[in-house]
Amino acid sequence: MDKFSVKGKTAVLTGAARGLGLEFADVLASAGANIAVLDVGSPGDSLDQLAAKHGVKAKFYKTDVTRRDEVVAAVAAIEADFGSVDINVNAAGIVKDEPFLSTSDINLSSTFSVNFVGSFLVAQACAQTMVRQHKKTANGSNGAATNEVTPINNTTAGSIVFIGSVASHVPTTVQNISVYCASKSAVRGLVKPLAMELAPYGIRVNSLSPGPMKTAMYQQVAAEQPSFARQVERETLFGRVGNPEELKGVVLFLCSSASSWMTGQDLLVDGGATSWNYPAA
């Protein structure tokens, strides 16, 4: 069996209407997963193209991930539409460059709401569904008849992946993003306790912390601020930012049974930015 195959599984992704989230959806679809996307913005025809390209089912659910009622309703609809929830990748995130001494309440609230609360709520709703599925399979019932947990051996019942950031490990010298750094540190702080709590149900919990990536947003900022781009590139050992495609294999690894013995971990994919004392701006 191909351990990197996720054929027939349902992957719930946030922030996948565009950017890195859409790249993650693409690689999971290429490995056979059906794709459910939660986002506030429409993906246009991107999901239709993805579904046609890989021969999978893909559907968009307009959802504000900071609202519990919308998240619960969306995940319930996904379970009804797809039959299961097996993978959850939390990629929704926002960032604003704002000095700490003048950071606004709006920035503080909105950044933590999307980056941390949104990730928490979606992971919680997906985990609840995964647990119910596990109980149904393990106990041969409707999953509600008993609270007992049947241990899982050599089986991955579900995988939850939080998208963190290199910024939660080391700050960059060219951006004032203390709120963003803190929010991603909070996300990373969920990984180990959730891995411990969900292990009895066969659910693995890990995070991926990317370094600076050549997304559309990055390219726009780089065009407007060339000095910013030059410094960010200097901060990696390879003298460049990463390409979104370079994260695809890592995401697939974390979501598939190829990483069945891995939980509670954060994977840094940062071009070596955290491996040395890079030059200050």
Residue positions annotated with a catalytic role: 180
Alpha-carbon torsion 164, 169, 174, 178, what sign? positive
Q: In whole angstroms, give the CA distance from residue 106 to residue 126.
A: 28
CB of 40 closer than 8 Å to CB of 62: yes
Could you give the dihedral angle defined by the CA atoms of residues 112, 115, 116 and 121, in that order, rounded to the nearest 10 degrees?
Answer: 120
pLDDT value for 102: 97
pLDDT value for 1: 55
Alpha-carbon torsion 2, 10, 23, 128, what sign? negative
Predicted confidence (pLDDT) per residue in 130-175, tens digit: 999 988 887 765 545 455 666 555 566 899 999 999 999 998 888 8
Give the residue extent of every domain in the chain: 10-213+243-270
| Sequence-ordered list of residues with C-beta below 8 angstroms from that of 223, at least 6 positions apart, any chain | none
Q: In whole angstroms, give the CA distance from residue 186 to residue 123.
A: 14
pLDDT value for 147: 58
pLDDT value for 172: 82
- Residue 89's φ and ψ, nearest 5 degrees, are -120, 120
Q: Among all chains, which residue has been given the structure tokens 């021969």? A: 55
HSE of 139, CA atoms in CB hemisphere, 13 A = 17
Domain 10-213+243-270: homologous superfamily in CATH: NAD(P)-binding Rossmann-like Domain (3.40.50.720)
pLDDT value for 151: 58
| Sequence-ordered list of residues with C-beta below 8 angstroms from that of 106, at least 6 positions apart, any chain | none
CB of 208 closer than 8 Å to CB of 160: no
pLDDT value for 152: 57
| Sequence-ordered list of residues with C-beta below 8 angstroms from that of 241, at least 6 positions apart, any chain | 211, 212, 213, 214, 218, 229, 232, 233, 271
pLDDT value for 264: 98
Low-confidence residues in the chain, pLDDT < 70: 1, 140-156
pLDDT value for 145: 45
Query: Tokens in use for 96?
Result: 């604003």
Query: Which residues pair with residue 213 across a beta bridge?
Result: 242
pLDDT value for 220: 87
Q: In whole angstroms, give the CA distance from residue 118 to residue 157.
A: 23
Q: Among all chains, which residue has been given the structure tokens 């928490």? A: 120
Predicted confidence (pLDDT) per residue in 183-196, tens digit: 999 999 999 999 99
CB of 241 closer than 8 Å to CB of 213: yes
CB atoms within 10 A of CB 147: 6
